[in-house]
């Protein structure tokens, strides 16, 4: 094991710890000192990886945003409009479910959104690209409201504490169903059993 | 004009001022002193009406919650299930649009939700009653997700800063349309012109 992999391990433990503390105390209510104490390291060890809390906040959110970017690229690679919508919707629902703790934090703590708005200027672009896939390049007001309700509604429901005990597949399936209804995509039929 | 009506006038100016300051600085970031200064009165004058910021927060939200309660009563007085759903949905969309500034505050500041959760125990009951109208008394998981997306989605979209310049009727109409789609209610046809 090299020094690099040790540092990488600390870095990801640090981000996981930061997410937990952010969820418990909010971004504003969490200090670098608290993160260091929870990890059992010195504040200097935290500073080795991140100079400010904003950098940590950004790094906590970055993997999910990168995955969303990849989902959008994959969706755009689909041939038909329908397949693009389906891919983007399923990918978005999947990300919401996979990153529930982060999504819950987005939903409840304006601090993390402000930190991300400040630092990731590509973020708005991400949402514009997603909207273009879901309702086309020239959305009217009805389209914009629909996409707004789909994205925010799925994120808020997916991150909601009342569904914490619902398993990933069930939650993802239901989020996709709601999104399909709103986007006017037909309900996917259960695969028919050819032998019955 | 009696002393009572003077006090009532101050009280409603105080609540309007509090909502403005809450919107600008968050509930946590607003002090009784700031409210007094903005109103041009002494802190004692604020204390005459409210002993704590929580009482002010509660009073800022109370009218909208009372109106929602009334909407639910009116919806329950409708004869058919369909008419009940339509009334509740239209009433909810109307409240969101009428109280946009408050709704935006709900959406962006967990402080106000915490204050209201603490103080208005009837609030959960309100949401349960609304859910019962929209999807019936024994909602399954799919129903719960649908209602969650309808209520949160409409509130988040209705309070969103990007639609601040959209007029009330247009915004309300589109919110209702989205809700009808999700709840499986048919699109209302535009009234036909009998003479054409």
Chain B nearest C-alpha distance from A24 (Å): 13
How many residues are given for chain B? 196
Is domain A54-182 annotated with CATH 1.20.1730? Answer: no
Q: What is the 3-state secondary structure (H, E, C) of B92-148?
A: HHHHHHHCHHHHHHHHHCHHHHHHHHHHCCHHHHHHHHHHHHHHCCCCCHHHHHHHH
Say what the pLDDT of residue A47 is: 92
Class of domain B61-182: mainly alpha
Hey, where are the domains in chain A? 1-51, 54-182
Rg, chain B, Cα only? 19
Mutate to test the interface with A, among B153, B158, B179 (most CBs of A within 10 A): B153
pLDDT of residue B10 exceeding 70, the answer is yes
pLDDT category, A189, cuts 50, 70, 90? low
Higher pLDDT, B191 or B102: B102
In whole angstroms, give the CA distance from residue B3 to residue B171.
40
CB contact under 8 A, A156 and B149: yes
**Which of A189-193, B64-68, B153-157, B165-169 shows the lowest mean pLDDT across its residues?**
A189-193
Given a cut of 50, is residue B26 above it in pLDDT?
yes
pLDDT grade, residue A186 (50/70/90)? confident
Q: Choose the closest CB to A148 out of B142, B148, B157.
A: B157
Judge whether A111 and A26 are in contact, CB under 8 Å. yes
A157–B149 CB contact, under 8 Å: yes
Chain segment A128-170, per-residue pLDDT in tens: 889 999 999 999 999 999 999 999 999 989 998 889 999 999 9
Is residue A40 pLDDT above 70, yes or no?
A: yes
Angstrom distance (rounded) from CA A190 to CA A187: 9
Residue A111 has pLDDT above 70, yes or no: no
**For position A1, what pLDDT does the model report?**
47
**Chain B residue numbers touching A109 (CB-CB < 8 A):** 110
The pLDDT, as a whole number, for residue A173 is: 97
- In tens, the pLDDT along A79-106 reads 999 999 999 999 999 999 999 999 888 8
B112: which chain A residues are within 8 Å (Cβ-Cβ)?
A: none
pLDDT at residue B105, rounded to an integer: 86
What's the pLDDT at A196? 42
CB nearest A182 (choices: B152, B174, B178): B178
Examine the pLDDT at A125 and tell me if it is beyond 90: no
Contact B178 A146 (CB under 8 A): yes
Interface test with B, best of A24, A148, A186, A187 (most B CBs within 10 A): A148
pLDDT of residue B127: 82
Q: Is the pLDDT of residue B124 over 80?
A: no
Residue A10 confidence (pLDDT): 84
Mean pLDDT of chain B: 86
Of chain A, the percentage scoring pLDDT greater than 90 comes to 59
Closest residue on chain B to A181 (Cα): B182
Minimal-distance CA residue of chain B relative to A105: B110
Share of chain B above pLDDT 90, in %: 59
Q: Give the pLDDT mean for B100-121.
A: 71
- Radius of gyration (C-alpha) of chain A in whole angstroms: 19
**Quick one: what percent of chain A has pLDDT higher than 70?**
83
**Mean of the pLDDT values across residues B60-83?**
93
For B45-54, b where at least 16 C-beta lie within 10 A, e where not — what string?
Answer: ebeeebeebb
* Closest CA–CA distance from residue A181 to any residue of chain B (Å): 6
In the predicted model, is pLDDT for residue B1 greater than 50? Answer: no
Asked if B182 and A177 come within 8 Å (Cβ–Cβ), the reply is no
Whether pLDDT at B196 is above 50: no
Smallest Cβ–Cβ distance between B141 and the set A141, A149, A174 belongs to A174
CA distances (Å), origin B116, targets A106, A107, B36, B85, B111:
20, 17, 22, 26, 9
One CATH from 1.10.10.60, 1.10.357.10, 3.40.50.10800, 1.20.1070.10 for B1-51:
1.10.10.60
> Is A182–B177 a contact, with Cβ atoms under 8 angstroms apart?
no
Segment B126-133 mean pLDDT:
89
> Residues of A with CB below 8 A from B141's CB?
166, 170, 174
Residue B144 with chain A: CB contacts under 8 Å: 162-163
Confidence of residue B40 (pLDDT cuts 50, 70, 90): very high
- pLDDT, residue A162, reads 87
What is residue B190's predicted lDDT score, i.e. its pLDDT? Answer: 56
């Amino acid at each position: 094991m090299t020094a690099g992999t040790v540092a990488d391990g600390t870095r990801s433990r640090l981000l996981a710890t930061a997410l937990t503390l952010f969820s418990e105390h909010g971004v504003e209510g969490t200090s670098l000192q608290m993160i260091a104490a929870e990890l059992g390291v010195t504040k200097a060890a935290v500073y080795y990886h991140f100079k400010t809390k904003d950098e940590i906040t950004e790094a906590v959110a970055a993997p999910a945003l990168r995955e969303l970017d990849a989902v959008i690229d994959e969706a755009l690679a689909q041939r038909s409009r329908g397949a693009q919508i389906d891919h983007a919707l399923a990918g978005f629902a999947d990300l919401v479910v996979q990153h529930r703790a982060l999504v819950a934090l987005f939903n409840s703590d304006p601090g993390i959104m402000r930190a991300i708005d400040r630092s990731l200027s590509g973020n708005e672009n991400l949402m514009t690209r997603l909207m273009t896939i879901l309702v086309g390049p020239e959305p009217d007001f009805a389209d914009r409201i629909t996409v707004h309700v789909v994205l925010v509604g799925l994120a808020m429901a997916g991150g909601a504490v009342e569904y914490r005990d619902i398993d990933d597949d069930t939650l993802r399936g239901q989020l996709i169903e709601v999104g399909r209804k709103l986007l006017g995509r037909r309900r996917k039929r259960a695969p028919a059993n050819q032998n019955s």
